[in-house]
Amino acid sequence: MRAVFLDQKTFNQNISLSAIESEVTSLECYPTTDENTLFERCINAEIIITNKVVLNEDTLKSLPSLKLICITATGTNNVDLIAAKKLNIAVTNVAGYAKQSVTQYVFSQILEYFSQTTHHHKNVENGLWSKSETFCALGNEINEVADKTIGIIGYGNLGATVETIAKAFGMNVMIAEREGSQTLRPNRHSLTDVLQQSDIITLHCPHTPETEHLINQQTLSLMKPSAMLINTARGAIINNNDLLNALTNKTIAYAVLDVLDCEPPPSNHILLVNQPKNLKITAHIAWATNQAQQRLLELVGENISHYKQGKQRNRVA
């Protein structure tokens, strides 16, 4: 089967494609693909591999050879799944590949915030330790994460792995029930209770109509003034204006965002132009350890193998 990888540049260049190459007749790779080059690159492909390139209904209708779309991510919003199903085009995604990577990112941010290691390193660079009258140079206060309460919103592979590590640190874990649910499943708490009682809120839920702007003026107002918010899920789960106001007015203490509602963001994005000191933004890299990237592409190879055998694996359409 002939395959085309439309946006290989979304992966490090040292990541091996051998798991995919072994399953296809040919593989053409492009760093990025825009709407002007999409058709000519895909017209003869039986398999399209895409991370974020959009494949809408009109595009899918124009590709009669296409049999399988492999999304190199968990999110599927860049592919028209309804159209794909109508056209008998199989669509697969991948899940679970980044649970170690994302969890490592979450706790690197938590530990940096509570341990203040960057601040204390800068104190040494600035000569404050050499000038100290005692054996240490105390700067920003340091706090333990043990006995802190972490609230997890979104309890799939990522949320469950965060829970495991949190418990190893001696933290209290609260798992949020879905907003609007009339019943609480075992070991779940209402979203209101989680927001009110947590010292740290970490988001791991998908972006759906129900979760869009889930974090807004009302929900932010429920959080502790000392609370930390971490988003490694999707940017649109947070209302940007409301978050900016909450940080500026110290409604909450700190936020770390690895995702924004538009990626890459424009240079005049409201959170970049007005970024307060209690907001840290990174460029959607929580998933991207070398090991997670390699696992992901190996899973894509497995998806192709199962499809060729007539088996359904990670099928979303």
3 state SS of 133: coil
Residue that has been written with the tokens 């708490």 in this structure? 189
Sheet of 279-281: strand order equals 188-189, 172-176, 149-153, 200-203, 228-231, 254-257, 279-281
Task: Kindly give, in sequence order, each residue whose CB lies less than 8 Å from that of residue 312, ignoring residues fewer than 6 positions away.
Answer: 306
CA 303/CA 70 separation, integer angstroms: 8
CB 89 within 8 A of CB 67: yes
Longest dimension (CA), the chain: 76
Is 178 annotated as catalytic?
no
Is 234 annotated as catalytic?
yes
Cα angle value 71/77/80 (rounded, 5°): 85
Please measure the distance between the N-terminal and C-terminal CA atoms of the chain and give it in whole angstroms.
19
- Could you list the beta-strand ranges (E) of 87-203: 90-92, 149-153, 172-176, 188-189, 200-203
Is 295 annotated as catalytic?
no
The active-site residue, picked from 163, 284, 295, 298, is 284
Using only C-alpha atoms, what is the Rg of the chain?
22
The active-site residue, picked from 57, 144, 263, 313, is 263
The active-site residue, picked from 120, 189, 204, 234, is 234
- Could you list the beta-strand ranges (E) of the chain: 2-5, 26-29, 47-50, 68-71, 90-92, 149-153, 172-176, 188-189, 200-203, 228-231, 254-257, 279-281
CA 285/CA 214 separation, integer angstroms: 22
CB 194 within 8 A of CB 151: yes
Positive or negative CA dihedral for 11, 155, 164, 196? Answer: positive
Nearest Cα to Cα of residue 288 among 98, 151, 87, 13: 98
State the catalytic residues: 234, 263, 284
